[in-house]
Each structure stands twice: as C-alpha cells, then as structure tokens.
Amino acid sequence: MTGLPETFAAARAEGRGVLVGYLPAGAASVPTFTAMVEAGVDVVEVGLPYSDPVLDGPVIQEAVDAALAAGTTPADVLRTVEAVAGTGVPALVMTYWNPIEQYGVDRFAADLAAAGGSGMITPDLTPEEAGPWLAAADKEGLDPVFLVAPSSSDQRVALIAGLCRGFVYATSVMGVTGARQRTSAAAPGLVTRVRAVTDLPVGVGLGVSDGDQAAEVAGYADAVIVGSAFVRAVRDAGPDAAPAAAARLAADLAAGVRRPVRQPQPAAEPPDAPGLDGV
C-alpha cells in the first residue's frame, strides 16, 4: 500500500493535484469503492456512519441514515478500509469523534492500522481534546488529519496544522458539506495561510462536483476532496449501477486535477454559515 507522503510526492512529480474521494461505508459497496480507485481516485475517505453528522449536508446525511438503518457497524467500516487499502491507495476513515470514544480510542487505532488504514479525519475533534487520539495514532503509525476553516485565526491554523500528518484539510466554506455551483473564493487565501505555517500538503474540500471545479481547486491546492458529488452519483444510480456511476465521476474529476487552472482568485467571500467556527 502507498502512504500519503508517497501519494502526494508522486502527484507533485506529475505536476497535478491529488484526488480524494469520500463515500460512507454501508452506503456504497466495496466494488463501488474499487471502481473509484480504478478510475483515478488517489486517496479514499471511508465514512463511518454516525447518527448526528452535524457538519454534513442533506445528501450525506441521507446516505448515512440509510447505512445506519441497514445495520452498518464500525466493523463494517474497517472491512471496507481493508478492501480499499488492498487496491494500493491510502484509505482514511472520516468520522465524528463520539463513535471512536465508544469503540475505544486505542482499540480503534490498533484495528484501523491492522486493516491497512493510513489515518483518520476527525471534523469535530478539537486540538484541546485530541491528546488520546494523537497518542494512539503515533503508536500505530497513523496520520491524524484535522480541519481548518476560513474563520480560523492564524494562531489556530498554526496549532491545527502542527498536529496534522499526511495533509491539512482546508474547508472551503463556512457551511455544511455539499456540491456547489461555484468554488469558494475564500479557499485560496486559506491555503496560503496554511502554507505559511507548514510544509504539509493542503487539501481543499466542501463544494467540488465536477472536473472543471476540480481543475480550479487544483490550481492552488495540493489535493481536491470530493464527497457529496460521489454520494449523490451513487444514490441516483442505484446499487447495480453505482460502481459505473462512481467511476464516471472519478474519471471526470481525475482529468480535472491533471489540468489545474492557475488564475488569480478573489481574496474573500462572505461566510455561508457559522457551522465550522470551532475548528
């Protein structure tokens, strides 16, 4: 399996961005995850379904609710991680913190490492409360990935970036997840602020839905993170056609990150919502 540092280094050598794709376990089959990878997704976020996904928009919330109703468990998430890691790309778990506390932090870290996972993205875990996870991640060789937002102060950006390994996740808007008609004008400035305090790659997520938008974001960020668009494509296609639908979207996005659009961006935009002020 290739790790995050090697994945970013290889993409950099090719002069392109890294494509990160998200789907919740239980809302998509293993063949769908595999199809994403085969069509060009470089890093996979496997979502751990949770009953109160406060930072997710309606598309992901509906998918997560369906996965929970179908009985998806953390064990199913880890089996999905193992399958994704078996394709050779880094597999990260994307999860709210409560399920990890319920499972046991040290136990989950050990089981994630045993499944071949590369690390974990924790959108609602603050630096002040991250000690147990950071210790467990260090012990198991996992990459902790935290989020910064346009509202984050320079001091907080530096604090959060200093705790990350693999990459820093920059949220492009001050709202919940969801594909948008245009990319965020605040994101380039946030990426610049992150790069001022760390040498880690910076990935931008929330809002990208097609190859053109991926090309725009790849013009200033190291990674383009896509979630809701994949979830919607899989939902609309239905179970039998989901792998093909995920592959079509992945191919479009993968072509986008290979033709970055480098052009001046507006300095800022008004916040969409106050949902990420705490990161």
Catalytic residues: 45, 56
Based on the number of CB atoms within 10 Å of its own CB, is 69 exposed (0-12), middle (13-18) or buried (19 or more)? exposed
- DSSP reduced 3-state for 239: coil
Measure the CA–CA gap between 119 and 4, rounded to whole angstroms.
Answer: 9
Task: Give the separation between CA 253 and CA 256, rounded to whole angstroms.
Answer: 5
Helix 154-163 vs helix 187-195: angle between axes, to the nearest 10 degrees?
60
How far apart CA 108 and CA 127 sit, in angstroms, is: 19
**Using a CB cutoff of 8 Å and minimum separation of 24, what contacts does 133-139 make?**
133/97, 133/100, 133/105, 133/109, 134/163, 136/105, 136/106, 136/108, 136/109, 136/110, 137/109, 137/165, 139/106, 139/109
Name the DSSP letter for residue 223: E
Which of 182, 170, 187 lies closest to 208, judged by CA?
182
The H-or-E segment that residue 86 falls in is none
